[in-house]
A and B are shown apart, each in its own frame.
Chain A
Amino acid sequence: MAFRDLGRNKRRSILSSLAVAVGMSLLLLMAAVVAGEMRGALQNTIQLQSGHLQVRAENYDENKISLKWEDLIASPQQVIDKLTSIPQVKFATPRLIASGIITLKDNSKGVQVIGIDPASEANQIFRQGILEGDFLTPDDREGIIIGKPLAEKFNVQVGDQVSLLINRSSGDTDEQLFTVRGIYTTNTMNYDENTVFMPLVKAQTFGGAEDHASLIFVMLHDQAQADIVATALQGSNYQILTWQKLNELTVQLEDFARAYMVVLYLIVLGITATVVVNTLVMAVFERTREIGVLAAIGMKGGRIMSMFLAEAALLATGGVIGGLILGGLAVAYFTKYGIYIGDYGVSGILMGDTIYAYLTVQDTISLTITAYIITLIASLYPATLAAHMEPVEALHGN
């Protein structure tokens, strides 16, 4: 009966369902974009910068980027051997990080110089990101790779020589000429513009750090195991930091984004529910006399109420299905092609230049349930209005 009642004014019913569908699809897309943005930023930061775990010397302070021996790990290979014996660890690699200034002709810029083991699996992301030229080799003593934005800014080509000045472990500075072996991209503008890589051995020599490393970058088979591995490593004379600790800002931002999305759900679904309520209120007034007839033949208020709630549920069902289809298509498109945002970096978060939508089953289910609940709660008003009509007044159309 509820289904047929909706057919009395097909256009109005379709428009009401469409309002729910459009609201639902927009929210699905927004949820997917926000989730994709957060997930992308977090995974980006993990892969490029933090890893799932970092092992650092007790005194190491990442804000100082010190190369003083007491701030560094003295025997990184021993730590790596210990780490790789843990089954959850996928790979572990040392990195030496120094602050420096890169200069070409009249241009100079402050950069972070990272010494990496070119052979390590952990650095595959940079090898795969080579756009021009070659990746580093472990025994290269003059070569560096620089990011595409920096190359464009300095108009540097592969094979060009640039001057690099860094702070050494002794506290003084040293400057040397290096040849640009390759230009890379991680599709993370602010990272690529500010990071220069060279082989670890050369970085250690250049910085006077001998065989020391700033940190051991660790990737796990499953990031959820980070706390377990960190606990297993406790007791050593090192700082063991998990990806959650290293990316507190991103994790907090993700929590904030989730809370923000819930508020947005309620606002948008509240608006769409208003359309459904409006439709049902009109239906109640148009059918006042029928409500009177139904009451006269013995239909109780509760049943009249459930009749209108059933209509609301049907409108919501149509809207939710439509929204899932429309939203699903939009999400599928942006999952594949992404949304290009360029250099929209937030300080402390390594955000890629393209956001790929990422819709979780949990988000889809929670949105669907929320859409239903809000529509039904909002529909209580017209349903109650109908249920509380006095039969004698309703029969007269009042």
Chain B
Amino acid sequence: MEVAKVENLTRTFKIGTVETRALRGVNLKVEDGEFTALVGPSGSGKTTLLQLLGCLDLPTSGTVIINGTDVTKLSRNQRADLRKATLGFIFQFFALIPTLTAYENVEMPLLLNTQPSTQRRGHVMELLNAVGLTDRAHHRPDQLSGGEQQRVAVARALSTNPKLVLADEPTANLDTENGKQVMEIMSRLNQETGVTFVFATHDPRVINYAKRVVTLRDGVIVEDNASSKGK
């Protein structure tokens, strides 16, 4: 079943009088349970595509369908609801709320979903356990290493049991060992929970974890190994 589908997707940015076409007619389907890497050089359109898949931005033309819903027809608040219920995000810069503990950061999306506190606690601790941070639950981000922070971000992305987790350069700010740990956790959670991951990267070591690699260049998909495997 398709978790995400984009058709004839274009996105043009206008800075002053200069127009930059970040995506030029992209078509992509992401199936349930995939662990897909978007790769390509800087400026190839990876992040733009992730933002459109994440309902954080709207395309200049084309359609974005997430879990059967055409995002381009949704209002701002409806897109927020869709993100809250269906999507998880992992950012390059960790993006934890600095005033909240690891536990509270993971709990935050659940608060937005108004889950009862009794259910929340067990679920959050389960997720922190899954990323190996049970003993760091009550530490604030500034008391955690970069790798630990990104693991908290992974737990947060999974807290609402999303259909699709989008990660933008999740290891870019991590050293090799921490980068490896984060990718192994993401890969394990993909296999154990079946949640779909799409991540943008240009780190060759990270690409090795991907089951599917989609290569972009100058705003178009130039290679998709799922297609070559007849997917």
Contact = CB atoms under 8 A, between A and B. Distances in A.
Contact of A299 (B89, B91, B98, B112): B112
B80 interface: yes
Contacts of A303: 112
Contacts of B80: 295, 298-301
Interface in B129-175: 156
Contact of B83 (A1, A5, A296, A301): A296
A293 B95 contact: yes
B210 interface: no
A40 to B, nearest CB: 51
Nearest to B92: A395
Interface in B30-85: 51, 54, 56-57, 76-77, 80-81, 83-85
B89 A296 contact: yes
Nearest to B157: A297
B97 interface: yes
A183 B104 CA distance: 77
A342 interface: no
Contacts of A90: none
Interface string A288-313: 01100111111111010000000000
A336 interface: no
A4 B100 contact: yes
A153 interface: no
Contact of A298 (B57, B98, B112): B112
Interface residues of A, number: 21
Contact of A293 (B76, B84, B97, B113): B97
A289 B93 CA distance: 10
Given A293-B91, A395-B56, A5 B99 contact: yes
B91 A297 contact: no
Contacts of A296: 54, 56, 83, 89
A-side interface mostly? helix
Interface residues of B, number: 24
A398 B43 CA distance: 18
B28 interface: no
B56 A392 contact: yes
Contacts of A298: 80-81, 83-85, 109, 112-113
Contacts of A289: 93, 95
B108 interface: yes
A8 interface: yes
A19 B17 CA distance: 45
Which of B54, B80, B89, B100 has the largest count of A CB atoms less than 10 A from its CB?
B80
Contacts of B84: 297-299
B62 to A, nearest CB: 16
A7 interface: yes
Nearest to B83: A298
A133 B52 CA distance: 96
Interface of A: 1, 4-5, 7-8, 289-290, 293-301, 303, 390-392, 395
5 contacts: A298-B80, A298-B84, A299-B80, A301-B80, A392-B51
Interface of B: 51, 54, 56-57, 76-77, 80-81, 83-85, 89, 91, 93, 95, 97-100, 108-109, 112-113, 156
Given A298-B112, A299-B80, A392-B56, 6 more contacts: A1-B97, A297-B109, A298-B81, A298-B84, A300-B77, A391-B56
